[in-house]
Chains A and B, each alone.
Chain A
Amino acid sequence: MGIRERLSGNEAIAVAMKQINPDVMGAFPITPSTEIPQYFSSYVDNGEVDTEFIAVESEHSAMSTCIGAQAAGCRAISATSSCGLSYMHEMLYVAASDRLPITLAVSCRALSGPININNDHSDAMSVRDAGWLMLFAETNQEAYDNYLQAMRIAEAVNLPIMICQDGFITSHAIENITLVEDDKVKDFVGEYKPEYSLLKGSMAVGPYATPAFYIEAKRQQAQAMIDAKDVIRSVSADFEKMTGRKYDLIEEYEMKDAERAIIIIGSSAGTAKEAIRGLRATGEKVGLIKIRSFRPFPAEEIARALKNVKVFAVMDKADSFNSHCGPIFAEVSAAMCVANINNPKGINIIYGLGGRDVRVESIERVFAQLDEIVKTGDVGESYRYLDVRE
Chain B
Amino acid sequence: MSYNLKEELKKEERFTGGHRMCAGCGSPIAVRTVLRALNPEDKAVVCSATSCLEVSSFMYPFTAWKDSFIHNAFENAGATISGVETAYKALKKRGKIDDTYKFIAFGGDGGTYDIGFQSLSGAMERGHDMVYVCYDNEAYMNTGIQRSSSTPHFADTTTSPVGAVIPGKLQKKKDLTKIMVAHNVPYVAQTTFMGNFKDISEKAHKAIYTPGAAFLNVMAPCPRGWRYETEELMTITKLAVDTCVWPLYEVIDGKYFLSYKPKTKLPVEDYLKAQGRFSHMLKPGNEWMVEKMQEEVNRHWIDLLVLCGEK
Contact = CB atoms under 8 A, between A and B. Distances in A.
Interface of A: 23-24, 26, 50-52, 54-58, 60-61, 64-74, 76, 90-91, 94, 198-199, 201-210, 213
Contact of B97 (A55, A199, A207, A208): A199
A72 B45 contact: yes
A203 B70 CA distance: 8
Contact of A65 (B65, B66, B86): B86
**Chain B: number of interface residues, binned into ranges:** 35 or more
B76 interface: yes
B83 A64 contact: yes
B71 interface: yes
A26 B79 CA distance: 10
B94 A94 contact: no
Interface in B51-97: 54-55, 58-61, 63, 65-73, 75-76, 78-91, 93-94, 96-97
B119 A69 contact: no
Contacts of B67: 202
A23 B91 contact: yes
B69 A204 contact: yes
Nearest to B122: A57
Contacts of B81: 68
Interface string B26-68: 0000000000000000000101000000110011110101111
Given A65-B82, A203-B68, A50 B94 contact: yes
22 contacts: A24-B90, A51-B90, A60-B75, A61-B79, A67-B83, A69-B83, A70-B87, A72-B84, A74-B90, A74-B91, A198-B68, A198-B70, A199-B45, A199-B87, A199-B99, A204-B58, A204-B70, A205-B71, A206-B71, A206-B72, A207-B61, A208-B58
A55 B59 CA distance: 33
B104 to A, nearest CB: 12
B80 A207 contact: no
Nearest to A28: B122
Nearest to B78: A61
Contacts of B90: 23-24, 50-52, 69, 74
A207 B63 CA distance: 8
B126 interface: yes
Contacts of A203: 68-69
A328 B244 CA distance: 62
Contacts of B99: 199
A207 B72 contact: no
Contact of A76 (B65, B70, B87, B89): B87
Given A58-B122, A204-B65, A207-B58, A199 B83 contact: no
Given A91-B73, A203-B68, A206-B72, A72 B125 contact: no
B119 A61 contact: yes
Given A64-B73, A67-B72, A56 B55 contact: no
A52 B70 CA distance: 20
Contact of A206 (B58, B85, B123, B125): B58
Given A61-B79, A199-B45, A91 B72 contact: yes
Given A60-B119, A67-B80, A68-B80, A73 B59 contact: no
B45 A24 contact: no
A68 B70 contact: yes
Contact of B87 (A61, A72, A201, A213): A72
Contacts of A202: 65-68
Contact of A69 (B61, B87, B94): B87
Most buried by A among B60, B66, B72: B72
Interface in B119-151: 119, 121-123, 125-126
Given A23-B87, A61-B76, 13 more contacts: A24-B87, A52-B90, A55-B126, A61-B119, A64-B79, A67-B70, A68-B79, A69-B87, A71-B70, A90-B73, A198-B87, A208-B71, A213-B60
Given A54-B83, A68-B84, A207 B122 contact: no
A24 B58 contact: no
A208 B59 contact: yes
Most buried by B among A50, A70, A71, A204: A204
B55 A208 contact: yes
In the A-B complex, the 6 residue pairs with the smallest Cβ-Cβ separation, listed nearest first, are: A68-B83, A65-B83, A57-B122, A72-B87, A64-B79, A61-B79
Contacts of A198: 45, 68-70, 84, 87
